[in-house]
């Protein structure tokens, strides 16, 4: 590749036609002589004619699910046609933030208030081209083609491929965007617009040059984790859809082998992608499916490993699913409706009745045979009474930190009951430097315990691991090893117990060991409804005093301290399910309900990973200071709409929990009656 060019594509005609094209292909045989003559204008014409003749738009476009709207930002109420008109006037939206360009798009711009880097990076994913291509395919209005070509030319001229930059460097050529472009918006645009008079021979040659530069960069500068799957999916698409390149056969073999290997090194035996994020779990599934569809359409054998491992990953989505059909927002995840994630699964696995049941909203198939279950390798645990919308569901994080996109939230608990999520968390937020982003990552943004005003810090050990990463075989062994949390399922109760002992604060000081046990009483003594007992044991490493904070984030409109118990917090939303939180009496324990506080940041939840998408969330902040071993018992009672809480107070007498009833009398429960079996 030459270095003199400052306007892209970087490839010269001499290099492109003389070195990189397979001129043995029928229709390209004349190119070597034209190169020798220096007749590059004719070489462009010959190449463009062969390229257009080789495209099979019906074949490629059949791989795209109709009306698929992926990563397309629109204004509230904006139709797809209105979005296209906005795009044509160069009012583009990245990361939810719009910018109006004049003349040409400045692909290095950043209009965000805090220079959020993702805005510029993600602008070069080019999903706007996907919008224009879909509408042009439906109605060949040449304004769409003209607008697309104008944007392509401005991008390819400005965004010169770097010659030696790491995969996560540069504003327009991060390898994640490089792979995304090649895996969907660019090939779709090519197969729709290639016959438009605006897509001239010169434009087409620049396009193919740039695609080769994409392949070269993906082959030589790819990264790891979910990025690698997007990168290899992009490389695979180049190799299949652009057979004119000499490198395409080698690129295809390389991409397929990488994708096969990553199924071993990125997926736990229980089906979870190793970043342990409900968002990036879908990123891997989606990119494997994109590769699968294109391989099948072009008669490239699909590896058996794709089918086998993706089935486990689809199953993991169902196993995690809340009663309302959504996934929990774990780590940098999202509240994704599961039904839509199974559009391909029901075709690939017609024998799976549970896939059909979820995908059809219960109209076909059968729900899973199990209710509660453990992800025995990664350490996620799900407790539920059943699969109907009013059933009770809880999620407990008792396992690994994950390999990326992690939150400091081990022992976190989420709770859904009677048609409503009751215990939530800070959630996922834009990847900026805001207080909300810090909160979403922190222990204080989750339902667990802080020590001495410090968060959990598993990240320190993780980055030490990055300094000398394990071998692939060591990773595979970890992904196939059982987690050390304890788990019990029975008809009457369920129990999970796990420990956090990896340190707190910036230095990850191992000052206190935190063990949490959650007991789900499915058949409690009358008059109790199904409820949860959370038992936290804190074991200091020294004889000094420590400050403790325990948080519970309520997904309700408001929550208040109960008038008859200064330690009890309950929501009281009319016409909806509510939650009562009642800790046992404990020396020095107090509680404050914090909602939407900014100094320090506390009592928030996000509703998407776009800047500004966060709302106040009433959060019970329990605090106490003590020396020595601590045992704090908390009763969580989900309540159907309009039902009063039957318990007003909890006391603990040794092994016995005494629940004081609103109607008078008590219910006694013994922790030892609920053993780990």
- Over the stretch 8-55, which tens digit does the pLDDT of each residue have? 999 999 999 999 999 999 999 999 999 999 999 999 999 999 999 999
The SS3 of residue 518 is strand
**Per-residue pLDDT, 290:** 97
Rg of the chain over Cα atoms, rounded to whole angstroms, equals 28
Return the CATH number of 373-673, one of 2.60.40.2130, 3.40.50.720, 2.70.98.70, 3.40.50.2000.
2.70.98.70
**Per-residue pLDDT, 216:** 98
pLDDT bucket at 666, cuts 50 / 70 / 90: very high
* Percent of the chain whose pLDDT exceeds 90: 94
The SS3 of residue 379 is coil
- Asked whether residue 337 carries a pLDDT value surpassing 70, the answer given is yes
Residue-averaged pLDDT of the chain? 96
What is the model's pTM? 0.96
Among 284, 350, 351, smallest CA distance to 317 is for: 284
Listing DSSP states for 314-327 in one string gives HHHHHHH--TTSBP
CA 110 remoteness from chain centre: 24
**Domain boundaries for CATH 2.70.98.70 within the chain:** 373-673
The SS3 of residue 293 is helix
> What mean pLDDT is predicted for residues 382-407?
96
> What mean pLDDT is predicted for residues 373-396?
97
**Per-residue pLDDT, 3:** 45
**Rounded Cα–Cα distance for residues 236 and 231 (Å):** 9
* Percent of the chain whose pLDDT exceeds 70: 99
Q: Which sign, positive or negative, has the C-alpha torsion 169, 479, 383, 462?
A: negative
> What mean pLDDT is predicted for residues 568-585?
97
Please tell me the CATH code under which domain 13-266 is placed: 1.50.10.100
pLDDT bucket at 68, cuts 50 / 70 / 90: low
Upper half-sphere CA count for residue 337 (Cβ side, 13 Å): 8
> What mean pLDDT is predicted for residues 473-482?
93
Query: Which positions ≥6 away from 113 have C-beta within 8 Å?
Result: none
- Asked whether residue 66 carries a pLDDT value surpassing 80, the answer given is no
Query: Which positions ≥6 away from 327 have C-beta within 8 Å?
Result: 278, 317, 320, 321, 333, 334, 335, 336, 338
The SS3 of residue 530 is coil
**Per-residue pLDDT, 582:** 98
**Rounded Cα–Cα distance for residues 60 and 551 (Å):** 51
**Per-residue pLDDT, 1:** 45
- Asked whether residue 646 carries a pLDDT value surpassing 50, the answer given is yes
pLDDT bucket at 295, cuts 50 / 70 / 90: very high
Among 10, 31, 475, smallest CA distance to 206 is for: 10
- Asked whether residue 5 carries a pLDDT value surpassing 60, the answer given is no
> What mean pLDDT is predicted for residues 586-612?
96
| pLDDT tens-place string over residues 108-127 | 999 999 999 999 999 999 99
**Rounded Cα–Cα distance for residues 313 and 589 (Å):** 43
pLDDT bucket at 67, cuts 50 / 70 / 90: low
The SS3 of residue 598 is strand
The SS3 of residue 178 is helix
Query: Which positions ≥6 away from 380 have C-beta within 8 Å?
Result: 272, 276, 320, 330, 374, 395, 396, 397, 398, 399
**Per-residue pLDDT, 250:** 98
| pLDDT tens-place string over residues 131-163 | 999 999 999 999 999 999 999 999 999 999 999
> What mean pLDDT is predicted for residues 424-449?
97
**Per-residue pLDDT, 465:** 74
**Domain boundaries for CATH 1.50.10.100 within the chain:** 13-266
- Asked whether residue 466 carries a pLDDT value surpassing 90, the answer given is no
> What mean pLDDT is predicted for residues 299-317?
98
């Amino acid at each position: 590749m030459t270095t003199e060019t400052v306007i892209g594509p970087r490839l010269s005609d001499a290099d492109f036609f003389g070195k990189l094209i397979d001129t043995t292909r029928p229709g390209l045989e004349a190119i070597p002589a034209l190169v020798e003559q220096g007749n590059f204008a004719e070489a462009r014409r010959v190449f463009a004619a062969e390229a257009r003749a080789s495209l099979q738009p019906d074949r490629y476009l059949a791989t795209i699910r109709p009306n698929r709207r992926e990563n397309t930002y629109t204004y509230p109420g904006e139709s797809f046609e209105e979005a296209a008109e906005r795009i044509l006037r160069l009012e583009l939206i990245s990361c939810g933030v719009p910018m109006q360009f004049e003349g040409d798009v400045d692909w290095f711009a950043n209009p965000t208030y805090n220079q959020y880097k993702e805005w510029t990076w993600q602008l070069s994913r080019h999903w706007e081209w996907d919008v224009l291509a879909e509408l042009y395919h439906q109605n060949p209005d040449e304004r769409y083609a003209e607008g697309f070509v104008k944007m392509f030319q401005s991008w390819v001229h400005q965004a010169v491929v770097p010659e030696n930059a790491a995969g996560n460097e540069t504003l327009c050529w991060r390898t994640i965007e490089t792979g995304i472009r090649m895996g969907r918006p660019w090939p779709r645009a090519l197969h729709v617009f290639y016959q438009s008079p605006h897509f001239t021979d010169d434009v087409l040659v620049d396009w193919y040059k740039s695609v080769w530069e994409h392949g070269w960069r993906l082959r030589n500068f790819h990264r790891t984790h979910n990025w690698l799957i997007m990168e290899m999916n992009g490389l695979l698409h180049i190799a299949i859809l652009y057979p004119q390149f000499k490198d395409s056969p080698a690129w295809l073999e390389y991409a397929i082998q990488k994708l096969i290997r990553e199924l071993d090194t990125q997926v736990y035996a229980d089906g979870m992608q190793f970043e342990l994020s409900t968002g990036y779990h879908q990123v891997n599934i989606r990119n494997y499916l994109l590769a699968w569809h294109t391989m099948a359409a072009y008669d490239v054998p699909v590896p058996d490993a794709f089918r086998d491992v993706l089935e486990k990953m689809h199953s993991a989505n169902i196993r995690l699913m809340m009663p309302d059909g959504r996934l929990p927002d774990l780590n940098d995840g999202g509240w994704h409706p599961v039904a839509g994630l199974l559009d391909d699964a029901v075709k690939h696995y017609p024998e799976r009745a549970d896939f059909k049941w979820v995908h059809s909203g219960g109209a076909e198939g059968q729900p899973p045979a199990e209710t509660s279950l453990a992800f025995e390798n990664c350490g996620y645990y799900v407790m539920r009474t059943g699969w109907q919308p009013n059933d009770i569901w809880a999620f407990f994080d008792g396992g690994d930190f994950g390999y990326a996109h992690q939150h400091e939230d081990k022992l976190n608990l989420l709770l859904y009951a009677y048609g409503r999520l009751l215990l939530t968390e800070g959630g996922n937020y834009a990847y900026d430097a805001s207080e909300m982003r810090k909160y979403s990552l922190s222990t204080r943004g989750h339902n667990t315990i802080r020590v001495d005003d410090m968060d959990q810090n598993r990240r320190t050990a993780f980055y030490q691991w990055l300094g000398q990463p394990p071998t692939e075989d060591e990773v595979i062994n970890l992904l196939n090893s059982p987690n050390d949390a304890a788990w019990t399922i029975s008809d009457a109760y369920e129990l999970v117990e796990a420990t956090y002992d990896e340190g707190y604060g910036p230095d990850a000081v191992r000052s206190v060991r935190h063990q949490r046990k959650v007991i789900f009483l499915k058949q409690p003594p009358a008059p109790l409804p199904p409820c949860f007992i959370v038992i936290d044991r804190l074991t200091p490493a020294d004889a000094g005093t420590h400050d403790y904070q325990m948080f519970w984030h309520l997904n309700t409109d408001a929550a208040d301290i109960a008038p008859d118990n200064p330690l009890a917090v309950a929501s009281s939303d009319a016409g909806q399910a509510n939650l009562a939180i009642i800790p046992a009496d404990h020396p020095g324990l107090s509680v404050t309900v914090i909602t939407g506080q900014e100094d320090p940041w506390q009592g928030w939840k996000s509703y998407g990973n776009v800047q500004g998408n966060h709302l106040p969330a009433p959060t019970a902040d329990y605090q106490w200071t003590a020396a020595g071993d601590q045992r704090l018992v908390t009763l969580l009672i989900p309540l159907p709409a309009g039902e009063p809480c039957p318990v007003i107070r909890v006391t603990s007498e040794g092994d016995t929990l005494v629940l004081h009833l609103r109607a008078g009398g008590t219910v006694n429960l013994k922790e030892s009656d609920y053993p780990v079996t």
